[in-house]
Amino acid sequence: MNVLLSPQPQPPSFFPHQHETNRRSPTRSISPFHNTMASNRKRKADDDGDEMSVSPLNSPAAQSRQLAARPSKKVRANELAGRPLSLPRLLETLDITQLRTVLQTICERQAEIGEEVVKSAPKPSVDCALQVLKEYQDKLRDAFPYGDSSSDYTYYRVKHQLMALIDALADFTHQFLPPNETSANLSLQYLDGATKVVHSLPDWESQSHRHHKENVYYEISQAWALVINEASKKGAGFLLHSGGWDQKLAKHNQQSGGRLGAAISSMAANVGWVGGGSGNTASSTPANQSSILDQLMAGNYGAPVPVGRW
């Protein structure tokens, strides 16, 4: 009997056959809009990459310049604060009057600093001293009122400036007298200029106000006498005559109205005579003419000199 056997089922195969066609997953439907956006993004990324590659800002040199331009340290707000000027910078802002005031205040507070300043400061020159006196003269002149006014009113109006000038005259005169000043020539130069300042002092109508100028004339005459005596010891009066100081003193005495008698007497005693310069009018007269000293004593100095045949 033929028995037909049904085919036996084959066991499932876990590995596909080599010749079996690979299965593909079903393809998704991609919209044209999605493809266009992706293409645009890709194209834009490519373009940006190209621009960055050729941009000068992205070059190594530009980056190094940007790094170099950055400040090394940022100033914080709490580090910026006001502070006073340093001493050298502060002194640059002061004028000469302010400097004098500051220095004088410091010296008055601390006496040792004042002594050190006196020792360290250079000696004032004749020109410097006379310039200071001129400044006091200008202040006195500016203090006079305008227009006609009584002598008493004007005196009290300018008394402060007048006394300041007289005090300055006294201080500088002592500065240039021996033994503090050893150079007779410098002393005489100062006295010549200081005497001109004395001549410029106002002549008051009231006798009670005239004593200021009278006292100054007396003191300046004594100063001339002291310097003349010291100068005659060193050069037997040669400096006094060779420098024409005898003639200058005679003119000062005439301008003062004969108030420098002590100085004239000292000049006559130490030099022996007054005048005699080549340019002096008295030297052109005959020998029997009176000297300037004799004329001064007689009160006729400056009288006309006869000319023509004697």
Residue 221 forms part of a structural domain: yes
Domain CATH for 126: 1.20.58.1590
Whether the model pTM is above 0.75: no
Same domain, 175 and 116: no
Same domain, 117 and 128: no
Same domain, 105 and 215: no
Residue 253 forms part of a structural domain: yes
Question: Over the range 82-108, which residues count as b (16 or more CB within 10 Å of their CB) and which as e?
Answer: eeeeeeeeeeeeeeeeeeeeeeeeebe
Residue 70 forms part of a structural domain: no
Residue 22 forms part of a structural domain: no
Q: What is the pLDDT, as a whole number, of residue 79?
A: 75
Look up the domain containing 113 and give its range.
Answer: 91-121
Same domain, 128 and 276: yes
Tokens 């006869």 belong to which residue? 306
Residue 82 forms part of a structural domain: no
Same domain, 173 and 285: yes
Residues of the chain with pLDDT under 70: 1-78, 148, 235-237, 272-310
Same domain, 199 and 214: yes
Residue 156 forms part of a structural domain: yes
Total domains, the chain = 2
- How is residue 8 written in tokens? 């036996």
Q: What is the pLDDT, as a whole number, of residue 226?
A: 96
3-class SS at 179? coil
Residue 50 forms part of a structural domain: no
Largest CA distance in the chain: 209
Same domain, 166 and 202: yes
Q: What is the pLDDT of residues 235-262, one digit of tens each?
A: 656 778 778 898 999 999 999 999 999 9
Report how far residue 223's alpha carbon sits from residue 245's, in angstroms, rounded to the nearest whole number: 14
Residue 188 forms part of a structural domain: yes
Q: What is the pLDDT, as a whole number, of residue 276?
A: 42
